[in-house]
Structure 1
Amino acid sequence: MSQEKPSVQSQHDENQIVSERRAKLEALRQNGNAFPNTYRRENLAAALHTQYGEQSKESFDEQAIKAKVAGRMVLKRVMGKASFATIQDMSGRIQLYISNDHTGEAVHAAFKHYDLGDILGAEGTLFKTKTGELSIRVTDLQLLTKSLRPLPEKFHGLTDQEQKYRQRYLDLITNEETRKVFTLRSKIIQTIRDFLVKHEYLEVETPMMHPIPGGATARPFSTHHNALDMALYLRVAPELYLKRLVVGGMEKVFEINRNFRNEGISTRHNPEFTMLEFYEAYQDYTYLMDFTEDMLRFVAETVLGTTSLQYQQQIIDFSKPFKRMTITQAIMTFHPEYTEKQLSSRDFLTERLTQLGIHYNPNDGIGGLQLSLFDETTEHLLFEPIFIIDYPAEVSPLARRSNANPDITDRFELYIAGREIANGFSELNDPDDQARRFMAQAKAKEAGDHEAMHYDSDYIRALEYGLPPTAGEGIGIDRLVMLFTDSPSIRDVILFPQLRREE
């Protein structure tokens, strides 16, 4: 991520501007409270445009429609006896007309010293300019907050990518597209919540700090609780706690919340991220695939108004049934040079992975080796929605084994636009099998696998009381928002992504 450091001259200019604005603030302090909190806004810009934007210019003269707005000044045009300003609130922008005749000479004179970025309150009547722009003829104007730092030059917005992430508040002020992304993110999450509640799921909250990290193969962040004198871990997944709730009789539950994984940062990974996890008793993974298709179609139709969306100049159509393939079927589909016999040979797989320079665990079975080949050669090619099914048991420590083949599990991962969006399976509810798999994970951890799971004896105890047949799934909210907002990086859809310490 390249960036240009501010020049000495530009830094000097900014320091000069800040100094001048501080002098103005000091003058305000001398005249009373420089940060008043008595002004109460009554109208939003977008609502005024929606309600009155189509009215004729002449109709405003007859009605004298009152408006009381507030927002940040983003444009300013000063003239002799009259000036224009544009303020921006949470909904959009509206133009103000400030004049000696209507606002008063003293207030207009004070306005001329206001700066871009200042937060104003304005009251007056609506009218349309000669060019047809809905505006407010201001009769009362107040400076509510003095801005000490200048907005980016000419209000063109931020161009430095790291500054956008580090100073998200400035990005939100200056970039309408950024505001749209995060508005859409909120709508996506709310629509998912509405869909699940409509299907009688109960929203719950489970712990964020775990005495034993579990629910996913990932390296956790660790901390220490002083009063209890015990190690704790930020959760890598809520799965084991949610399934404890199903044991307790809460048979349809979901949680939308944060997970934390101590791993690398990339365009698709942030160490703190948002997940949806949901569980339903007396269902299996095939039901979840159908349910997920329905949910994503519902979200697309509700939020975007269409089931066809564009991502990175390609169209993704959610109206069509999602494809379903095994790992080996997917590899052979996108790489016809491989045969099923080759992909079933451990010797071939290890030799091929070595030739391609792909890291793999030497202790992996054929299923794990196939997955390593798939991850590096095929995953990025899965653009259209596709469920990859029948994952090896050795890499699925919490999933139920297939009745037809105990070496694989009733599990899927959903891929869209070349990345994993969801992971779901029929839950393993055999406490003895789960205990054996935890033991295998514990041995892997002792052998140096930092992402292997711990042995969770209380979870085994919960299973011994009886977990009904259950299906569960996790969906990465951040990656889903990337998809729906056509964002190339996960940092574009997280308000405050993790960054290196600022120098």
Structure 2
Amino acid sequence: MNHEQSVGRIEKLVSLKSQGVPVFPDRFSTNYELSEASRLENGTSAVRVAGRIMSIRNFKKLTFITISNIQGSLQLLLKKEEIGELLFKRFLELFDIGDFIGVEGRMYTTKTDEKTLRIESYDFLGKALRSLPEKWHGLNNIDVRYRQRYLDLMMTKDTQSRLLTRSKMVRAIRRFFEDEEFLEVETPVLQHTSSGALAKPFMTYHHSLDTELNLRIAPETYLKRLIVGGFTKVFEFAKCFRNEGVSPQHLQEFTMVEGYAAYWNYEDTMKLMRNMVLFILDRAFNATTITIQGSTIDFSLEWDVISFRDLIMRETGIDIDLYPVVAELHQETKRRKIELDHPDIETLGRGNYIDYLYKKTCRPKLVKPTFLIQHPIDLSPLARANDANTALTDRFQLVVNGAEIINAYSELVDPIEQRKRLKAQAFLKSNGDLEAMEMDEDYLTAMEYGMPPISGWGFGIERLLMVLTDSDTIKDCVLFPLTRKRNEDNKS
């Protein structure tokens, strides 16, 4: 904090208080949002708005003030002859950029054609003890943008727009699934196992129960338990946690939307997901055509569909079906001089190895909406095997601009086959594959009570927002991303 600036602002606060001005008022009644007021007819009176002062332009007998919030801004006019000398002088001497003000007045349009509120009365609503940076045209310091997101939201239009779009997206997704007769549910974050995905969990400890627990990596197995319990169509906005590496496309804490429908297969879900994406674009973007990486993509056109094997063969020349043993596949990638820089490449199971090969060589080239289907079964421990080829699964991923934004499949509902696959995953985990799944006896017990045919899906809100807003990094798509602790934060 700039000590001199802070002292000066505190002195102004004390002065306001000494003049009988409430410096911490409990409320201010408004009748318009700033964005609404800016659209009012000239002459509209008794307009009451409030906001943070973002600019002050002083002239001899009048002052122009701009106030704003996350949804808009409004210009105010303070004239000595209209407000009186006392209040005019008080504002000039004791108010600062960053302070909050509530005003009442009437609307007019300036000579420069800007809708403005002429102040007839004002209330002090809060003092900023720190100065906002000068000459701010959007926050350029990346570290500050993430550590002090409130400043970024206050000052950077792109951040405001993107994160408002996030809220619109969430509202649209809820509306879509409710209209499709899905019920919203909640399942546990603290779990005994890390089931539901291939990922390394965060671990914690429950003292009263004297047991180690994981923060969930996915809500999948609990949502499927609800299908066992009689629910037929469910979805959840689930906070998930994955203890994985930092990248522009990954968050360690993220929000997943996951859902399941009894009696459906993955092809039913493909139709649902296409309709959902188009609904989101309509509600949150008011368009089905958006620009991503300089390319205009019309989501209303037909989407490509390609198999995992065909995609890898197209981009690398490798037919993964010819290499059922991971060591042989590894030798073939080396022979073709394909560099895979995974630190634990030698310990990955075949499924995770193929997935890593795909992510490095194929995924970045998928720009238009593409359904990737027919994943290898060892990459999908919870998916149903394809009837025609049991080495593949009835699964799809939606990939747009090199990012997987939806993952879905026909679910495995055979408890005997599920136990066999989880045993194989547990073996990989015991041999060093940290992202392999562990045995989940409680879930297997639930399965043994019987499951109908099921199809399910999952997607991350942040990943979807990142793609649709053409953002450089997924950190831009969450309100408060995790950052490394600074040295000064460790000091007492």
Shorter chain as denominator, the TM-score bin is over 0.9
CA distance in 2, matches of 1:377, 1:119: 52
Match of 2:370 among 365, 386, 398: 386
Secondary structure of the structure 2 residue equivalent to 1:51: coil
Matches within 5 A, 1:64-143: 65-113=45-93, 114-143=95-124
Q: Which residue of 1 aligns with 2:193?
A: 212
The size of the alignment, in residue pairs, is 480
Secondary structure of the structure 1 residue equivalent to 2:83: coil
CA distance in 2, matches of 1:441, 1:144: 59
CA distance in 1, matches of 2:53, 2:428: 59
Match of 1:271 among 252, 276, 292: 252
Q: Which residue of 2 aligns with 1:3?
A: none
Tell me how far 1:498 sits from its aligned partner.
0.9
Secondary structure of the structure 2 residue equivalent to 1:102: helix
Secondary structure of the structure 1 residue equivalent to 2:38: helix
Match of 1:357 among 339, 354, 363: 339
**Normalized against structure 2, the TM-score is what?**
0.93
Runs of 5+ in structure 2 lacking a partner?
488-492
Q: Which residue of 2 aligns with 1:24?
A: 12
Runs of 5+ in structure 1 lacking a partner?
1-10
Match of 1:421 among 392, 405, 422: 405
Matches within 5 A, 1:242-321: 242-321=223-302
Tell me how far 1:317 sits from its aligned partner.
1.9
Contact in 2 for aligned 1:117/1:151 (Cα 8 Å): yes
Give a deviation string over 1:395-437, Cα, whole Å, max 9, x none: 2110111111111111122211011111111111111111111
Taking a change above 3 Å as real, the CA distance of residues 212 and 369 of structure 1, as seen in their structure-2 partners, is: closer
Tell me how far 1:154 sits from its aligned partner.
2.5
Matches within 5 A, 1:131-170: 131-170=112-151
Moved more, 143-152 or 239-248: 143-152
Match of 1:458 among 442, 449, 452: 442
Secondary structure of the structure 2 residue equivalent to 1:216: coil
CA distance in 1, matches of 2:326, 2:157: 53
Taking a change above 3 Å as real, the CA distance of residues 347 and 499 of structure 1, as seen in their structure-2 partners, is: closer
Contact in 2 for aligned 1:74/1:155 (Cα 8 Å): no
CA distance in 2, matches of 1:326, 1:199: 29
CA distance in 1, matches of 2:324, 2:441: 35
Tell me how far 1:28 sits from its aligned partner.
3.0
Taking a change above 3 Å as real, the CA distance of residues 121 and 362 of structure 1, as seen in their structure-2 partners, is: closer
CA distance in 2, matches of 1:346, 1:269: 26
Q: Which residue of 2 aligns with 1:7?
A: none
CA distance in 1, matches of 2:318, 2:430: 35
CA distance in 2, matches of 1:276, 1:193: 10
CA distance in 1, matches of 2:210, 2:353: 42
CA distance in 2, matches of 1:231, 1:126: 62
Q: Is it true that 1:399 corresponds to 2:387 in the alignment? A: no
CA distance in 2, matches of 1:415, 1:386: 5
Taking a change above 3 Å as real, the CA distance of residues 418 and 38 of structure 1, as seen in their structure-2 partners, is: closer
Among the aligned pairs, what percent are the same residue? 39
Contact in 1 for aligned 2:33/2:49 (Cα 8 Å): yes
CA distance in 1, matches of 2:84, 2:25: 21
Q: Is it true that 1:202 corresponds to 2:183 in the alignment? A: yes
Contact in 1 for aligned 2:264/2:454 (Cα 8 Å): yes
Taking a change above 3 Å as real, the CA distance of residues 340 and 93 of structure 1, as seen in their structure-2 partners, is: closer
Q: Is it true that 1:477 corresponds to 2:461 in the alignment? A: yes
CA distance in 1, matches of 2:290, 2:238: 26
Give a deviation string over 1:236-285, Cα, whole Å, max 9, x none: 00000000001111110000121000111111111001111010010111
**Aligned partner letter, 1:159:** N
Give a deviation string over 1:136-189, Cα, whole Å, max 9, x none: 221111211001111121242311111111111001111122111111111111
Contact in 2 for aligned 1:327/1:371 (Cα 8 Å): no
Contact in 1 for aligned 2:63/2:78 (Cα 8 Å): yes
CA distance in 2, matches of 1:227, 1:491: 35
**Normalized against structure 1, the TM-score is what?**
0.91
Q: Which residue of 2 aligns with 1:430?
A: 414
Secondary structure of the structure 2 residue equivalent to 1:321: coil
Taking a change above 3 Å as real, the CA distance of residues 363 and 73 of structure 1, as seen in their structure-2 partners, is: closer
Tell me how far 1:464 sits from its aligned partner.
0.7
Contact in 2 for aligned 1:66/1:126 (Cα 8 Å): no
Tell me how far 1:17 sits from its aligned partner.
1.4
Q: Which residue of 2 aligns with 1:222?
A: 203
Contact in 1 for aligned 2:320/2:329 (Cα 8 Å): no
CA distance in 2, matches of 1:441, 1:79: 73
Secondary structure of the structure 1 residue equivalent to 2:261: strand
Matches within 5 A, 1:316-327: 316-327=297-308
CA distance in 2, matches of 1:371, 1:452: 13
Secondary structure of the structure 2 residue equivalent to 1:153: coil
Give a deviation string over 1:83-117, Cα, whole Å, max 9, x none: 11111134311111112221111111011021100
Taking a change above 3 Å as real, the CA distance of residues 470 and 97 of structure 1, as seen in their structure-2 partners, is: same
Moved more, 265-274 or 131-140: 131-140
CA distance in 1, matches of 2:187, 2:409: 20
Q: Which residue of 1 aligns with 2:490?
A: none
Contact in 1 for aligned 2:138/2:157 (Cα 8 Å): no
Moved more, 227-236 or 455-464: 227-236
Q: Which residue of 2 aligns with 1:46?
A: 35
**Aligned partner letter, 2:67:** I
Taking a change above 3 Å as real, the CA distance of residues 268 and 371 of structure 1, as seen in their structure-2 partners, is: closer
Contact in 2 for aligned 1:328/1:370 (Cα 8 Å): no
Tell me how far 1:357 sits from its aligned partner.
3.1
